[in-house]
Amino acid sequence: MHMKNSEQIKELVRQKYSEIALQEKETNQSSCCGAGGCSTEVHTIMADDYSMLKGYNPDADLGLGCGLPTQFAKIKKGNTVIDLGSGAGNDCFIARNETGEDGRVIGIDFTSAMINKARANASRLGFSNVEFRQGDIENIPLSGNMADVVVSNCVLNLVPDKDRVFKEIFRVLKPGGHFSISDVVLVGDLPENLRKDAEMYAGCVSGAIQKDTYLELIKENGFSNRIIQKEKQITIPDDILKNYLNEKEMEEFKTGTTGIFSITVYAEKSKTCGCGTTCCN
């Protein structure tokens, strides 16, 4: 299936993540971000282990992350935190542990099945200061200059217009606020069959862009003090690769310079943003 436009990509992701919302965590973990093509070789391809973090809630963990942005997000008591692509609420509930009862956590997700699952989890946990809104992170349904911290975990790679998302993150952050985002990026060119396959798109690999381009987008959108907080190479198991590549292509892919990486990136919105004492946009 060839992608024709960003709306088709979004619809594919929406369908896929609606299915994922209803799957067991074990099914999601043994695939690439939950998107089918299950592997017998590994238990978790992308995800880091959350279970030791305070605020962790197993019902909200669908095994879809590729990092632990909340671990690096420098969330303080009383902060307002926005989680982009909040899924069943896992990162939101961990962020809520950091920000406490005086803080506020808002999860944004464009899949209604995920929103429903997250709201049910929040209700069961009795959290009145964690809310979930359905919306597109290319057009975040929140006013500007309201968040102390933005987090996101393995989501931007699914979005066609990443530049637009970084503009939106900049808009919703308060002057002096910051983000910590875990995502999947590439170094070198992926084999064409891996890139174009629809299932791999929802599985977050072929939607990923070059690491240098990703980091440049952050800089171009006005963020400062950019730091890579964590980086690890992702190994796709042979029994998933063979669905896309023949033996020769597999060997070339594994011995070449191409890499798929999970990175967690931090950056700040300046307190002045280049236009006086407050931010203009």
DSSP string covering 20-70:
HHHS-HHHHHTSSTT-S---SS-S-SSPPP-TTSTT--GGG--S--SS-HH
| Topology adopted by domain 6-268 | Rossmann fold (3.40.50)
Handedness of CA 92, 159, 198, 230 (dihedral sign): negative
What's the CA gap between 169 and 167, in Å, rounded? 5
Is residue 136 classed as helix, strand or coil in its secondary structure? coil
DSSP E strands, 58-103:
80-84
- Count Cα neighbours of 44 within 13 Å in the Cβ-side half-sphere: 14
Is residue 184 classed as helix, strand or coil in its secondary structure? strand
What's the CA gap between 86 and 137, in Å, rounded? 11
- Tens place of pLDDT for every residue, the chain, 281 residues? 344 577 777 777 777 666 766 655 544 444 444 444 433 333 344 455 545 456 546 554 544 456 555 678 999 999 999 999 998 888 899 899 899 999 999 999 988 988 999 999 999 999 999 999 999 999 999 999 999 999 998 888 888 899 999 999 999 999 999 999 988 888 888 777 777 654 554 455 557 889 999 999 999 999 999 999 989 887 777 877 788 888 888 888 888 778 888 899 999 999 875 454 445 54
178 contacts 269 by C-beta, under 8 angstroms: yes
Q: What tokens appear for 220 in the block?
A: 């171009």
Report how far apart, in Å, the C-alpha atoms of 107 and of each of 89, 122, 206 are: 7, 11, 25
Residues sharing a CB contact under 8 Å with residue 248, sequence separation 6 or more, in sequence order: none
**What is residue 59's predicted lDDT score, i.e. its pLDDT?**
55
Instruction: Classify strands 259-269 and 130-134 as parallel, antiparallel or unpaired.
Output: unpaired
Scored b (16 or more CB within 10 A) or e, 194-209 reads bbebbbbbbbbbbbbe
- Count Cα neighbours of 257 within 13 Å in the Cβ-side half-sphere: 4
Domains of the chain, residue spans: 6-268
Query: What one-letter code names the amino acid at 124?
Result: R
What's the CA gap between 29 and 148, in Å, rounded? 31
**What is residue 62's predicted lDDT score, i.e. its pLDDT?**
44
Report how far apart, in Å, the C-alpha atoms of 114 and of each of 11, 17, 118, 203, 205 are: 15, 8, 6, 16, 21
Report how far apart, in Å, the C-alpha atoms of 234 and of each of 85, 133, 190, 195, 261 are: 21, 31, 13, 16, 5
**What is residue 197's predicted lDDT score, i.e. its pLDDT?**
59
